[in-house]
Chains A and B, each alone.
Chain A
Amino acid sequence: MTTPLFSGVLAGAILSGTSLLYATLGETLVERAGIVNLGLEGILLIGASTGFATAAATGSAWLGLLVAALSGGLANILFGWLVVSRRANQLASGLAMLFFGFGLSALVGTPYVGAVITGLPKWRPAWLAALPWVSGSTLFNYDALTWMALPVAVLVWWALFRTRWGLGVRAVGESPAAAFASGRSPGILQFQALSAGGVLGGLAGAHLSLSLTLTWAEYMTAGRGFIAIALVIFSKWHPLRAVAGALLFGGAEALQLQLQARGTDVSPFLLEMFPYLLTILVLLAWGGARRLAAPASLGRTFYGSE
């Protein structure tokens, strides 16, 4: 029995888009507070390896998920200490975090290479499984992270755009001096956004190791952290547009694999380029519309109001 192309691509898009979405949401939160973390890939790796190591050592994928979330948050707090407390350059610190993440994840993960874990449990409601275009595919057979991805995106949107806290975070991203003058503490808000963003980044990595691949391998994220940074721009710093971005990019990757599996007469090298080509095209199309611009103080260091 074969699965229709649409179901296969959608299923693949959701599976590979899950980690992209969590990573994109995390980076969106951080960038909305005016901070660029180029080390996102490192955060993903730390989440993937600490989560996997914990799951392998304790036998509990849930505990792994928790540790991944915490270590992602901690890594971002360390980054915050550099760029907020110590006012270090964000781009340089981000790259340092990237390599720190490479090294730390390899160190933590090495003893667990080849460990066999029971991944996060998956379930699919019976009425969905009964649909003819669903039954043969992996569609709707998801772990908790995938089921929660959309609600989390809505939560991040709500927190950013419908709460006082979110208003404060966005104000800091636009103009920390103005936010400070209005009685907010830019540093504290940035730390809060960073830790929440780090937790999301850790979860993104955990989805790769604890659900999608059930393995740890050095540099297993294979650039997904960088794609997520591009997706933040793609979605114009908006959590709900990030859902579309993650699905589109995950879908491009899934389409490429599905077309090959269907024996489509297209070069695998051309298909390989497809997701990246799509990113370039969309970035071109979006252009620099003012309404969709980056937070005004993104990447700038706030030296206080003196």
Chain B
Amino acid sequence: MKKRIGSILTALALGLTAQAQTPRLIIGAVYVGGVNDYGYNRSFHDALAQVARDLPGVKLLEAENVPESGEVERVMEGMIQHGAKLIFPTSFGYQDSARKTARRHPEVCFEYAGDGAATRNFGVFFGSTQAAWYPMGVAAGKMTRTNKLGFVIGLPIGYALGNVNAFELGARSVNPKAQTVVVVTGGWSDKAKEAGAANALLDQGCDVVGMHVDSPATIIQAVEARGAMSIGFQSLEARALAPKGWITGLGFTWAPFFTRIANAVIAGKFRGEAIYQGLGEMVAVAPFGAAVPADVRKLVNAAADKVAKGYNPFTGPLNNNQGGQALPPGATVGADQMGDLNWYVEGVIGKVR
């Protein structure tokens, strides 16, 4: 009994000191989905949790499943009332609400995951994944036995086509016979169709499947259930879903960038900028699965290094999959032009529209 009272008293004392220590910075984060999705939202949550752990006096306020509507403005206003001085609106569709809120609160800093112009208190950032898919293609091209790779995408937007193209280019660089078959599901989160798409690809003899959808969980599990191999996307943690068939994957690593921004806000030196970083900065290669032999790991790491040092797989001459030339010799498509991409590279089986 005495012990219990003692512990209650300590708890009270701790609570009081915690309250006395006002945090140096309160960070607000708004997510469009749940943070345990093994995908996009989890990547942000993991990074911000790390920032809160590493920097003393930083507190994190999070809101999950916030729709891309006026709702997000209310959530951000609430965070500001609770003292948030740095806010991460992490979904593309938050743009208008976030910009409006930023104009109303010039004293609060925003870092928006998307595109558009930066202002003094409104930074814009995103990870460029397209070139990063090149080493994923190297991994798939080496691991496939059927020379048929599958790729499930939600919608044929430029960013997704870029991922597919770099994947195929990487695969061809080590396996000239490798083809990539694309299935479009028509949405970023239609789980039943994602399972059907994975099955359709496996039915056609694909033995490695990559994907660009919100959460890779359904596809990776469907592929694993049929004994094929997968390459993950969005969160590095997705490998837990495929103990046998996991090759590798791409995940976002926002923590170093977020730490830099948090420190800038604490120091009062924040200035909004548009920052896009690729492999080696905001994007990382996930750990390899057990089935991946050492020589393949070496090749993939070498390709990843090459891309991190600035190699652009989208360098002409490149043919499209309709038999025409997509890029003349020497021409390139930069990371900032991926949104406008509208062709599949030779070796991809699929139609853009």
Contacts and interface: CB of A to CB of B under 8 A. Distances in A.
Interface in B187-217: 187, 189-197, 199-201, 203-206, 214-215, 217
B33 A213 contact: no
A220 interface: yes
Contacts of B240: 116
Interface string A252-275: 011001101111011111001000
Given A1-B205, A116-B240, A215-B221, A257 B193 contact: yes
A8 interface: yes
Nearest to B226: A138
A262 B204 contact: yes
Given A113-B36, A114-B36, A214-B218, A265 B351 contact: yes
A110 B65 contact: yes
B199 A15 contact: yes
A2 interface: yes
B181 interface: yes
A11 B226 CA distance: 14
B184 A260 contact: yes
A218 interface: yes
B86 interface: no
Q: Which of A15, A213, A257, A265 has the most CB of B within 10 A?
A: A257
A222 B190 contact: yes
A222 B183 contact: no
Given A110-B64, A114-B36, A114-B217, A212 B192 contact: yes
Interface string B239-266: 0110000000000000000000000000
B218 A268 contact: no
Contacts of A269: 353
B48 interface: no
A138 to B, nearest CB: 6
Nearest to B148: A2
Nearest to B221: A214
For chain B, which range describes its interface: under 10, 10 to 19, 20 to 34, or 35 or more residues?
35 or more
Interface in B49-77: 64-65
B200 A267 contact: no
Contacts of B191: 208, 212-213, 215, 217, 220, 222
Given A138-B199, A260-B183, A115 B36 contact: yes
Contacts of A1: 205
Interface in A1-53: 1-3, 7-8, 11-12, 15-16, 19
A217 B156 CA distance: 22
A136 interface: yes
A11 B222 CA distance: 14
A3 B196 contact: no
Nearest to B353: A267
Contacts of A11: 199, 203
Interface in A90-118: 106, 110, 112-116
B184 to A, nearest CB: 4
Contacts of A15: 195-196, 199
Contacts of A113: 33-37
B141 interface: no
B317 interface: no
Contacts of A116: 240-241
Contacts of A112: 36
A261 B201 contact: yes
Interface in B162-201: 181-187, 189-197, 199-201
B245 to A, nearest CB: 14
> Which of A106, A136, A222, A267 gathers the greatest number of chain B CB atoms within 10 Å?
A222
Interface centre among A12, A136, A217 (most CB of B within 10 A): A217
B215 A217 contact: yes
Nearest to A224: B192
A137 interface: yes
B349 interface: yes
A258 to B, nearest CB: 5
Contacts of A12: 196, 199-200
A291 to B, nearest CB: 34
Contact of B200 (A136, A217, A261): A261
Given A215-B217, A260-B182, A267-B351, A106 B150 contact: no
Contact of B37 (A114, A213, A261): A114
Given A114-B42, A268-B186, A257 B204 contact: no
Contacts of B182: 260
Interface of B: 33-38, 42, 64-65, 150, 156, 181-187, 189-197, 199-201, 203-206, 214-215, 217-218, 221-222, 226, 240-241, 349-351, 353
Give the 3 A-B residue pairs with the shortest CB-CB distance, closest first: A114-B36, A113-B34, A263-B349
